Chains A and B, each alone.
Chain A
Amino acid sequence: MSAPLLEARNIVKRFPGVVALRDVSFALRAGEIHSLCGENGAGKSTLIKLLSGLHPHGSYEGALFVDGAEARFRSLADAERAGIAVIYQELALVEEMTVAENIFLGAEPRNALGLIDWPAVYRESARLLERFGVAIAPAARVAELGVGQKQLVEIVKALAKKSRVLILDEPTAALAEHEVLILLDILRDLRAQGIACIYISHKLDEVLAVCDRITVLRDGASITTLEVAATDKADIIRHMVGREITDLFPRRPSPVGEARLEVSGLSVVARAGGRPILRDISFTLRAGEVLGFGGLMGAGRTELLMHLFGLLGRRVAGEVRLDGRPLGAEAPPAIIRRGMVLVSEDRRRYGLILDAPIGFNLSLSALGEFAPAGWIDEGREFRRNDELFRSLRVKAPTLEAVVGKLSGGNQQKVVLGKALMTDPKVIFLDEPTRGIDVGAKLEIYEIINQLTAAGKAVVLVSSELPELMGMSDRILMLHEGRVGGEFRRGEATPEDLLAAAMGQTAVTLT
Chain B
Amino acid sequence: MPTKLSLRDFSLAITLVALCAVFASLSPQFLGARNLSLLLTELSITATLALGMMLIILTGNIDLSVGSGVGLLGGIASVLVFHFGWPAPAALGVGLLAGLLIWLLMGTIIVRERVPSFIITLGGLLVFKGLFWLVIQNATVPVVPGGQTNLYSLLTTYYLPPAASFALAGVVVLLMVIAAVRGRRARRSYGFAVEDAPTLFLRLFVTAQFIFLIVLVTAQFRGIPLPALILGVVAFAVHVLTTHTPFGRYLYAIGGNEEAAVVSGIPVKAVLIGSFGIMGVIVAITGFMQTAYSGASTSTVGDLMELDAIAACVIGGVALKGGRGTVLGVLFGALLMAVLLNGMTLLAVSPEFKFIARGLVLSLAVWMDVKLAR
Whether a CB of chain A sits under 8 angstroms from the CB of B240 is: yes
- List the 6 closest pairs (A to B, CB-CB), nearest first: A353-B256, A336-B265, A367-B246, A350-B263, A332-B265, A375-B244
Contact A354 B256 (CB under 8 A): yes
Contact B253 A382 (CB under 8 A): no
User: Which among B246, B260, B323, B324 has the greatest number of chain A C-beta atoms within 10 A?
Assistant: B260
List residues of chain A with CB under 8 Å of any chain B CB: 309, 311, 331-333, 335-337, 341-342, 344, 349-357, 360, 364-365, 367-368, 370-371, 374-376, 378-379, 382, 386, 398-400, 418, 422
Complex partner residue of A375 from B1, B193, B240, B253, CB under 8 angstroms: B240
Q: List 18 A-B contacts (CB under 8 A).
A: A335-B265, A350-B259, A353-B253, A353-B260, A355-B256, A355-B324, A356-B256, A356-B323, A360-B253, A365-B266, A368-B246, A376-B244, A378-B244, A382-B190, A386-B190, A399-B192, A400-B1, A418-B264
B residues in contact with A337, CB < 8 Å: 265
In the assembled complex, the Cα of A192 lies from the Cα of B304 at a distance in Å of 69
Whether a CB of chain A sits under 8 angstroms from the CB of B186 is: yes
A residues in contact with B265, CB < 8 Å: 332-333, 335-337, 341, 365, 422
Contact A400 B193 (CB under 8 A): yes
Given that A332-B263, A398-B191 are known contacts, is A371 also in contact with B323, CB under 8 Å in the complex?
A: no
Chain B nearest Cβ from A372, distance in angstroms: 11
Measured CB to CB, the nearest residue on chain A to B248 is A376
Measured CB to CB, the nearest residue on chain A to B243 is A376
Chain A nearest Cβ from B328, distance in angstroms: 19
B residues in contact with A331, CB < 8 Å: 267
Whether a CB of chain A sits under 8 angstroms from the CB of B357 is: no
State which residues 78-131 of B face A: CB under 8 Å.
none
Whether a CB of chain A sits under 8 angstroms from the CB of B11 is: no
B residues in contact with A353, CB < 8 Å: 252-253, 256-257, 260-261, 323
In the assembled complex, the Cα of A375 lies from the Cα of B237 at a distance in Å of 12
State which residues 244-258 of B face A: CB under 8 Å.
244-246, 249-250, 252-253, 256-257
In the assembled complex, the Cα of A317 lies from the Cα of B258 at a distance in Å of 30
Complex partner residue of B260 from A352, A357, A379, CB under 8 angstroms: A352
Contact A354 B249 (CB under 8 A): no
Whether a CB of chain A sits under 8 angstroms from the CB of B370 is: no
B residues in contact with A309, CB < 8 Å: 263
Complex partner residue of A364 from B192, B245, B253, B259, CB under 8 angstroms: B253
Contact A365 B240 (CB under 8 A): no
B residues in contact with A360, CB < 8 Å: 249, 252-253
State which residues 311-365 of B face A: CB under 8 Å.
323-324
B residues in contact with A332, CB < 8 Å: 262-265
In the assembled complex, the Cα of A341 lies from the Cα of B263 at a distance in Å of 9
Contact B253 A356 (CB under 8 A): yes
A residues in contact with B186, CB < 8 Å: 378-379, 382
User: Which among B1, B192, B246, B324 has the greatest number of chain A C-beta atoms within 10 A?
Assistant: B246
Chain B nearest Cβ from A414, distance in angstroms: 11
Other than the given A351-B260, A418-B264, 16 more pairs (CB < 8 A) read A309-B263, A311-B262, A311-B263, A331-B267, A333-B266, A349-B257, A349-B260, A353-B257, A360-B253, A370-B246, A371-B246, A378-B186, A378-B244, A398-B191, A398-B192, A422-B265
Chain B nearest Cβ from A411, distance in angstroms: 12
In the assembled complex, the Cα of A400 lies from the Cα of B2 at a distance in Å of 10
State which residues 42-100 of B face A: CB under 8 Å.
none
Chain B nearest Cβ from A308, distance in angstroms: 13
Complex partner residue of A371 from B245, B261, B324, CB under 8 angstroms: B245
In the assembled complex, the Cα of A360 lies from the Cα of B32 at a distance in Å of 46
A residues in contact with B252, CB < 8 Å: 353, 356, 360
In the assembled complex, the Cα of A422 lies from the Cα of B263 at a distance in Å of 13
Measured CB to CB, the nearest residue on chain A to B323 is A355
B residues in contact with A399, CB < 8 Å: 190, 192
Contact A375 B262 (CB under 8 A): no
In the assembled complex, the Cα of A352 lies from the Cα of B257 at a distance in Å of 7
A residues in contact with B267, CB < 8 Å: 331, 333
State which residues 152-211 of B face A: CB under 8 Å.
186, 190-193
